[in-house]
Each structure stands twice: as C-alpha cells, then as structure tokens.
C-alpha cells in the first residue's frame, strides 16, 4: 500500500513543484515520514531527489555556468557534509519529552522538532511575497552556498537559499536552471554518502521497488508539470501546499507522525 501512496505523492509533488514553487524534497519528505523515521525519510527522499536531478541534468546540464558551480557549489558541498552530520547526531538523541492523549503515547524528539520548525519556516518563506523578494549579490555567493548546502544536508531543503543567491548572479534563464540542478545534484550526492548508514535501518534492498517507483513517478510528474505550466506560480495552489506542509510539520513536531 505504501508504494502506491508514495508513488502517487511523488508524481503529484513533482507536478506541484511547477505550480507552487516548493521543491520536490520539501514536499515529499513529510510523505515518506508517514512510513519511516524522519531521518530515514529524509535519506530516502534524497535518493529520489538525486535520481530525478540526474534526469534533469541530461535535459539542461550543458547550459550550466562553470564559475557559479565553483563559487557556489564547492561551499555547498562542504556545508552539506556538516548539515548531514548534524542530522545523524540529532536523530540518535532520545525523546525530549513524552505525553499521552487518551490511549495514545507520543514522543517529541529533537530531530522531529528541528525538521518540523524548518519546514514551517521555509513554508512561510515560500508564501511570503516580501520574503520572496529578498535576493543577494554576487559577493555573497560563498555564504549562500554554505547556507544552501547546510540546510540541504540537514533537511533536504536547499532550493530557497540557492534561488535567493543565484537569481541575481547575472545568469541567463537556461544557465540559472541548469546551474541550480547540478548544484542540487552535487549536494544530494554528498549528503547521501553521509546518510548511507541509515539505509540499513530503512532496509534499502527491500525498498528498492518503492524508490524506483517513486523516482519514475517524479520524473513523469516533472515532464507533465513542465508541459502543463512552465514555472508559473499559482498563488492559491501555493497557499494550499504551504498549509498542508505546516499541518504535517506540526503533527511531526508534536510526535503524532
């Protein structure tokens, strides 16, 4: 049953990235979290995100700006190691506290609380027009790479910072998209190497059909989404996705998920 739910979610999520502005990993990780521990969910989402980006590189990679890959990408790679390491450390911490509601017992853990807060903050960032207008100059590229890589490694959320720093870098639309895809792929590869220890917990071999199905669904969704609507953001859809993310994040933070 979970393979059907996650595959449908991957397909719809991939389509929604064109409509809502949210990244694939940001929306898909909470769906995986319904079936796996949050650190494992982030790792498995990283696999889908990485393979989906490999596909995108084949489509647009030739247009990437090499200087941006160096200035922004190298700091992002190094910082993603740190972010992924932090995720591994906090995921091993015991519950901060536990509580009961009726017959239900719920644990609030550090990793769930951190990821919950980050998802809520990035949801607000995506739907706030004033915050979306914040951009940074070329002299901040190294700092931007560090932020994007760290949060990419910690929670799989890297697109918001990457966009804020690259959009004013003087790149053409084609170079901007291609450069972002390759940097995302580099960060994914780096953080997956750190997450590898969690794949035993996730019984990766048993879940290969799930990952293949989710990846193919995401690729089909990306192709369909691009044809339906080429990066045009629908405000109502964006708000719906943000509210759903916030609700799931609150449930995660309170230990319901």
Report whether pLDDT(238) > 90. no
Helix axes 110-127, 235-253, angle to 10 degrees: 160
- Say which residue, 72 or 247, is predicted with more confidence: 72
Q: What's the mean per-residue pLDDT of the chain?
A: 78
H/E element, 102: none
pLDDT in tens, 12-56: 777 766 555 566 777 777 777 777 777 778 888 888 888 877 877
Q: What is the pLDDT of residue 78?
A: 94
pLDDT, residue 22, reads 63
Res 85: pLDDT = 92
Contact residues for 189 (Cβ-Cβ < 8 A; gap 6+): 50
The model carries a pTM of: 0.79
CA distances from residue 95 to 43, 133, 154, 191, 211 in whole angstroms, order as listed: 21, 38, 19, 25, 29
Q: Tens digits of per-residue pLDDT, 145-203?
A: 998 899 988 888 877 778 777 777 777 777 888 888 888 889 988 988 888 776 666 56
Confidence bin at 79 (pLDDT 50/70/90): very high
For residues 35 and 39, what is the distance between their CA atoms, to the nearest angstrom? 12
């Amino acid at each position: 049953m979970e393979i059907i739910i996650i595959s449908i979610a991957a397909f719809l999520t991939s389509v929604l990235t064109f409509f809502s502005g949210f990244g694939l990993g940001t929306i898909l990780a909470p769906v995986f979290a319904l079936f796996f521990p949050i650190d494992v969910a982030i790792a498995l989402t990283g696999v889908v995100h990485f393979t989906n980006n490999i596909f995108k590189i084949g489509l647009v990679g030739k247009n990437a700006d090499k200087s941006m890959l160096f200035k922004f990408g190298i700091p992002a790679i190094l910082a993603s190691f740190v972010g992924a390491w932090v995720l591994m450390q906090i995921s091993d911490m015991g519950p901060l506290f536990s509580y009961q509601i009726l017959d239900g017992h719920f644990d609030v853990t550090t990793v769930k609380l951190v990821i919950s807060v980050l998802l809520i903050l990035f949801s607000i960032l995506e739907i706030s027009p004033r915050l979306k207008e914040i951009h940074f100059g070329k002299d901040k590229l190294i700092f931007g790479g560090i932020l994007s890589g760290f949060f990419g490694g910690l929670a799989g959320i890297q697109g918001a910072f990457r966009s804020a720093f690259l959009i004013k870098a003087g790149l053409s639309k084609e170079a901007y998209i291609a450069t972002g895809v390759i940097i995302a792929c580099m960060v994914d590869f780096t953080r997956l190497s750190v997450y590898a220890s969690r794949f035993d917990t996730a019984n990766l071999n048993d879940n290969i059909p799930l990952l293949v199905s989710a990846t193919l669904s995401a690729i089909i969704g990306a192709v369909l989404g691009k044809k339906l609507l080429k990066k045009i953001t629908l405000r109502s859809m964006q708000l719906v996705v943000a509210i759903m993310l916030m609700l799931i994040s609150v449930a995660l933070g309170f230990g319901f998920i």
